[in-house]
């Protein structure tokens, strides 16, 4: 057998294996996207197989939909704060448990008990979002039975007759949710950054120490630049999470699929689901889906571009 | 009890959610494919017995009966009791399935053409009734309505039903769904607490506020409501409007009239009355942010005097209610110059029972439904599921019911024909949601009654542009 034929045979073999996953991917991932795109030009109700073609109407309505615009704004706020706060905290903790200890005779090490912290910080990550919403539901509960309210009443900060209705306060609700996401995410990114830090050769740190660098300098001049790839990836992941937020908002806040009080915690996915399943405006909801997809893709590209830096080899 | 599925099921008693929207499209094609398929099986099943007065559908003795019920907030003990009674009378062997997964269990059977004989198609995973109806899967139950009642053979079954049971069982003009549960709406209180404190159940809104004020003095909240679900406080607002302004005020809202809220003095008075509770600090602290179970449980712990809900409340709270709580129903207290009497109450039907068109033993299915509409079976349901049925005076007075159900029965009797029911939550989900949002803001004291009226009217005006608005009219 000639080498060319052999190569052809191998190509066929590989194609054969690739075909099934590709077909599955096209059927279950790409095709629904195409369908959604198609439905977004109709007035499909979601409950019946008949619908009319309405052109760009749904997109025009979307432009003036205040609830959706509010939701978009909330998503953007979360998009800034979720990655920022999570990554900063995770970096700080990761640095402390890996390189934050006193550089004694043993060189670079974490603060005392750092192994214990690593495990403990990871705990929130193993909880599912459903459990998380129950847990934080009990913390934010609006009467004195809530953990926060109970505590604040005990120490006399608030009056028992006027507890803080955390998730029913227009100005607080979004931040309360943000805290849950950050609490949930920090542990995972701490472990991720820890792994990245451990792959940084110790002698770089030692050299920095010998040169008299303090903790802050070590962090900003050595650790962060060497971790940039991980940080970048984390930012994209967290950004996508911030664009979603569906489970938390829909289970923790008031309203059909959440979003309350009075749309103050609305995110795009909750508005979408409400229109899709509850209001019978599925075509309109599909238009929202298309907008969300476009935004998510644009943001991913921007994040990757904006954070692009020279790669440091080690 | 207390699982999420049940909680949701109960909360949505009147308005079951349309969460199955995603799968209705494929369902649709399956069903229509099936409907156009084999009709050749229609003669199977047990031989028919001759039709007599006692046996209007010709049920053959010794046949089989296949029953599937939604095992939600009402459990399924009532159905087991019914089946035992049916087997005894007709010599049938019945098979029973109580499940929450109605769609998963039944869709293949509907598609294969061997559905059960009786189905309680309810819960979050119900098969959408309009889909079944369009696929010709539902037997026309008119024959059941026209058969003689078991309690009084001189009466037809249809004459023993409460108002609304017939209209709400229609699909495309045919009566194919028997909605069996009857719910009344109003305030609930603890008979024990009221006796202890010497409070009388209020008949007017002023008396209501006075009791709330006394409760506050005694260190407990006046009114609790299910703040996370403003559906419940809307019951209070809307019922006050209906009682003060009369049925016309209610219909104006359902019919989306331009002065349904704005320029309607009854509406403003009702919203101001509810707002007064907030303004005077008579709400249970924190109630605005609580779920239905949290607030109802707090109320069961004597942390509030009143809570609004439908009559499923007692069964829903069964585990949390103290033994001597003595739950009592209270019709919505009256505002000054109300057009409806104090006894008038909101009442609605739900829990859809069907007989599939292709059921093997359709005659027995029909007979089962006829028996359900007897006083004997209705009493069984009231005892086992702690809820009322659509059978008029359907509970034997000698039977001991739980206190809440008992007081709901008495309230219904006192109401007589003075029952009413809003349609807009079923017709216009979006408008309902917007009004609920406004109510949440009102209860949190972030908007004033006038602003509420404005927002509610805006929701009505928006709904008036809905293409369905032409068809959804009530006289």
How confident is residue B2, by pLDDT bands cut at 50, 70 and 90? very low
Residue A301: exposure state from Cβ atoms within 10 A (0-12, 13-18, ≥19): exposed
pLDDT of residue B169: 87
Looking at the complex, report in whole angstroms how far the Cα of residue A64 sits from the nearest Cα belonging to chain B.
14
**Average pLDDT in the A83-93 region?**
93
Q: Residue A49 in contact with residue A42, Cβ under 8 Å?
A: no
CB atoms B440 and A261 under 8 Å: yes
A42 - beta bridge partners? A53
- Asked whether residue B438 carries a pLDDT value surpassing 50, the answer given is yes
Given CB atoms, is A43 within the 8 Å cutoff of chain B?
A: no
CB atoms A165 and B286 under 8 Å: yes
- Asked whether residue A149 carries a pLDDT value surpassing 90, the answer given is yes
Residue B144: exposure state from Cβ atoms within 10 A (0-12, 13-18, ≥19): buried
Lowest mean pLDDT among A100-104, B237-241, B334-338: A100-104
Q: What percent of chain B has pLDDT over 70?
A: 90
Nearest beta carbon to residue A142 from set B289, B440, B441: B289
**C-alpha span between B139 and B116 (Å, rounded):** 12
pLDDT of residue B232: 95
Given CB atoms, is B162 within the 8 Å cutoff of chain A?
A: no
Given CB atoms, is A165 within the 8 Å cutoff of chain B?
A: yes
The string of pLDDT tens digits covering residues B226-236 is 999 999 999 99
pLDDT of residue A311: 67
pLDDT of residue B44: 47
- Asked whether residue B20 carries a pLDDT value surpassing 60, the answer given is no
Looking at the complex, report in whole angstroms how far the Cα of residue B110 sits from the nearest Cα belonging to chain A.
19
CB atoms B18 and A277 under 8 Å: yes
- Asked whether residue B14 carries a pLDDT value surpassing 60, the answer given is no
Given CB atoms, is A255 within the 8 Å cutoff of chain B?
A: yes
Given CB atoms, is B433 within the 8 Å cutoff of chain A?
A: yes
Find tokens 């959706």 and name the residue: A68
- Asked whether residue A5 carries a pLDDT value surpassing 70, the answer given is no
Looking at the complex, report in whole angstroms how far the Cα of residue A148 sits from the nearest Cα belonging to chain B.
13
* Residue B131 structure tokens: 């889909």
Looking at the complex, report in whole angstroms how far the Cα of residue A180 sits from the nearest Cα belonging to chain B.
18
Q: Residue A188: helix, strand or coil by DSSP?
A: helix
Q: Residue B374 in contact with residue B150, Cβ under 8 Å?
A: yes
- Asked whether residue B39 carries a pLDDT value surpassing 70, the answer given is no
* Residue B420 structure tokens: 């009413």
Residue B304: closest CA among B280, B283, B288, B281 = B283
Q: Which of A36, A45, A47 to mutate to test the interface with B (most CBs of B within 10 A)?
A: A47
pLDDT of residue A160: 86
- Report which of residues A112 and B156 the model is more confident about: B156
pLDDT of residue A2: 58
DSSP secondary structure letter of residue B20: T
Go through chain A and tell me how many residues it has: 314
Q: Residue B446 in contact with residue A170, Cβ under 8 Å?
A: yes
- Asked whether residue B36 carries a pLDDT value surpassing 60, the answer given is no
Lowest mean pLDDT among A89-103, B164-178, B194-208, B399-413: A89-103
pLDDT of residue A313: 65
Nearest beta carbon to residue B430 from set A166, A170, A279: A279
Q: Which of B286, B459, B466 to mutate to test the interface with A (most CBs of A within 10 A)?
A: B286
How confident is residue B396, by pLDDT bands cut at 50, 70 and 90? confident
CB atoms B28 and A278 under 8 Å: no
Nearest beta carbon to residue A142 from set B17, B286, B430: B286
CB atoms B289 and A256 under 8 Å: no
- Asked whether residue B469 carries a pLDDT value surpassing 70, the answer given is yes
Residue B435: closest CA among B465, B464, B468, B457 = B457
**Average pLDDT in the B346-354 region?**
92
Q: What percent of chain A has pLDDT over 90?
A: 42
pLDDT of residue A104: 52
The string of pLDDT tens digits covering residues B265-279 is 999 999 999 999 999
Lowest mean pLDDT among B43-57, B195-209, B250-264, B413-427: B43-57
- Report which of residues A53 and B30 the model is more confident about: A53
Q: Residue A23: helix, strand or coil by DSSP?
A: helix
Instruction: Categorise residue B217: left if φ over 0, alpha if ψ from -120 to 50, beta otherwise.
Output: alpha
Go through chain B and tell me how many residues it has: 475
Q: What residues contact B200, with CB distance under 8 A and at least 6 apart?
A: B194, B207, B211
Residue B82: closest CA among B392, B409, B316, B365 = B365
Chain B residues touching A162 at Cβ < 8 A = 285
CB atoms A254 and B227 under 8 Å: yes
Nearest CA in chain B to A146: B286
Q: Can the peptide bond before residue B251 be classed as cis, meaning omega within 30 degrees of 0?
A: no
Q: What percent of chain B has pLDDT over 90?
A: 69
**Average pLDDT in the A230-250 region?**
89
**C-alpha span between B342 and B120 (Å, rounded):** 35
Q: Residue A284 in contact with residue A67, Cβ under 8 Å?
A: no
pLDDT of residue A3: 63
Q: What is the 3-state secondary structure (H, E, C) of B108-171?
A: HHHHHCCCCCEEECCCCCCCCHHHHHHCCCECCCHHHHHCECCCCCCCEHHHHECCCCCHHHEE
How confident is residue B15, by pLDDT bands cut at 50, 70 and 90? very low
Backbone φ and ψ for B184, nearest 5 degrees, come out as: -110, 150
Nearest CA in chain A to B230: A255
Lowest mean pLDDT among A107-116, B104-113, B229-238: A107-116
pLDDT of residue A216: 82
DSSP secondary structure letter of residue A104: B
Looking at the complex, report in whole angstroms how far the Cα of residue B283 sits from the nearest Cα belonging to chain A.
10
Looking at the complex, report in whole angstroms how far the Cα of residue A253 sits from the nearest Cα belonging to chain B.
7
**C-alpha span between B188 and B309 (Å, rounded):** 7
How confident is residue B54, by pLDDT bands cut at 50, 70 and 90? confident
ipTM of the complex: 0.84
**Average pLDDT in the B437-461 region?**
96
Buried b (16+ CB within 10 A) or exposed e, A208-227: bbeeebeeeebbeebbeebb
């Amino acid at each position: 057998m000639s080498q060319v034929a052999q190569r052809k045979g191998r190509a066929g073999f590989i194609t054969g294996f690739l075909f099934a996953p590709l077909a599955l991917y096209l059927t279950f991932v790409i095709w629904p996207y195409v369908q959604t795109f198609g439905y977004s030009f109709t007035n499909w109700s979601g409950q019946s197989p008949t619908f009319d073609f309405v052109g760009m109407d749904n997109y025009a309505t979307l432009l003036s939909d205040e609830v959706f615009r509010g939701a978009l704004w909330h998503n953007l706020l979360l998009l800034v704060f979720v990655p920022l706060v999570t990554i900063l905290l995770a970096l700080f903790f990761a640095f402390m448990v890996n390189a934050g200890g006193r550089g004694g005779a043993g060189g670079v090490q974490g603060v005392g008990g750092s192994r214990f912290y690593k495990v403990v910080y990871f705990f929130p990550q193993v909880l599912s979002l459903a459990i998380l919403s129950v847990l934080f539901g009990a913390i934010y509960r609006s009467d004195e039975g809530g953990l926060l309210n109970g505590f604040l009443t005990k120490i006399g900060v608030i009056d028992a007759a006027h507890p803080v209705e955390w998730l029913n306060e227009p100005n607080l609700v979004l931040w309360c949710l943000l805290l849950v996401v950050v609490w949930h995410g920090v542990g995972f990114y701490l472990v991720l950054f820890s792994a990245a830090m451990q792959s940084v050769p110790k002698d770089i740190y030692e050299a920095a120490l010998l040169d008299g660098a303090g903790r802050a300098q070590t962090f900003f001049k050595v650790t962060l630049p060497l971790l940039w790839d991980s940080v970048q990836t984390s930012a994209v992941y967290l950004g996508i999470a911030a664009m979603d937020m569906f489970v938390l908002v829909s289970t923790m806040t008031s309203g059909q699929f959440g979003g309350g009080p009075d749309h103050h915690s609305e995110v795009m996915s909750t508005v979408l689901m409400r229109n899709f399943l509850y209001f019978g405006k599925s075509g309109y909801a599909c238009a929202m889906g298309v907008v969300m997809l476009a935004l998510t893709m644009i943001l991913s590209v921007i994040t990757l571009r904006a954070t692009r830096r020279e790669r440091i080899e080690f | 009890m207390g699982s999420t599925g049940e909680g949701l099921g109960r909360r949505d008693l009147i308005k079951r959610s349309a969460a199955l929207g995603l799968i209705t499209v494929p369902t649709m094609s399956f069903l229509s494919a099936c409907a156009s398929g084999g009709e050749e099986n229609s003669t199977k099943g047990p031989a028919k017995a001759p039709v007599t007065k006692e046996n209007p559908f010709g049920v053959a003795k010794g046949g089989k009966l296949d029953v599937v019920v939604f095992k939600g907030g009402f459990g399924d003990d009532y159905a087991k009791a019914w089946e035992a009674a049916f087997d005894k009378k007709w010599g049938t062997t019945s098979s029973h399935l109580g499940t929450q997964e109605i769609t998963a269990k039944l869709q293949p059977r509907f598609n294969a053409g061997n559905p059960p004989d009786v189905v309680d198609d309810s819960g979050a995973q119900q098969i959408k009734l309009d889909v079944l109806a369009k696929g010709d899967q539902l037997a026309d139950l008119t024959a059941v309505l026209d058969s003689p009642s078991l309690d009084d053979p001189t009466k037809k079954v249809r004459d023993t039903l409460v108002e609304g049971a017939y209209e709400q069982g229609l699909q495309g003009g045919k009566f194919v769904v028997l909605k069996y549960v009857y719910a009344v709406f109003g305030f609930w209180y603890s008979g024990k607490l009221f006796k202890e404190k010497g409070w009388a159940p209020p008949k007017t809104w002023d008396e209501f506020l006075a009791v709330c004020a006394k409760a506050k003095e005694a260190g407990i909240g006046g009114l609790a409501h299910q703040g996370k679900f403003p559906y419940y406080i809307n019951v209070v607002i809307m019922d006050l409007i209906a009682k003060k302004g009369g049925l016309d005020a209610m219909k104006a809202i359902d019919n989306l009239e331009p002065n349904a809220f704005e320029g309607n003095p009854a509406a403003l008075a009702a919203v101001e009355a509810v707002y007064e509770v907030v303004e005077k600090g008579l709400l249970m602290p924190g109630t605005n942010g609580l779920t239905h179970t949290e607030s109802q449980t707090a109320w069961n712990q004597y942390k509030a005097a009143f809570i609004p809900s439908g009559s499923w409340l007692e069964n829903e709270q069964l585990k949390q209610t103290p033994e001597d709580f003595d739950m009592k129903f209270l019709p919505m207290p009256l505002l000054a110059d109300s057009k409806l009497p104090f006894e008038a109450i909101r009442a609605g039907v739900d829990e859809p029972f069907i007989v599939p068109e292709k059921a093997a033993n359709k005659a027995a299915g029909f007979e089962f439904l006829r028996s359900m509409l007897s006083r004997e079976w209705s009493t069984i349901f009231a005892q086992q599921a702690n809820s009322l049925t659509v059978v008029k005076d359907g509970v034997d007075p000698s039977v001991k019911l739980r206190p809440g159900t008992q007081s709901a029965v008495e309230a219904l009797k006192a109401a007589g024909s003075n029952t009413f029911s809003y349609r807009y939550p079923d017709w216009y989900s979006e408008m309902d949601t917007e009004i609920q949002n406004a109510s949440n803001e009102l209860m949190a004291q972030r908007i004033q009654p006038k602003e509420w009226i404005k927002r509610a009217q805006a929701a009505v005006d928006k709904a008036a542009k809905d293409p369905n608005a032409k068809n959804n009219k009530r006289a």
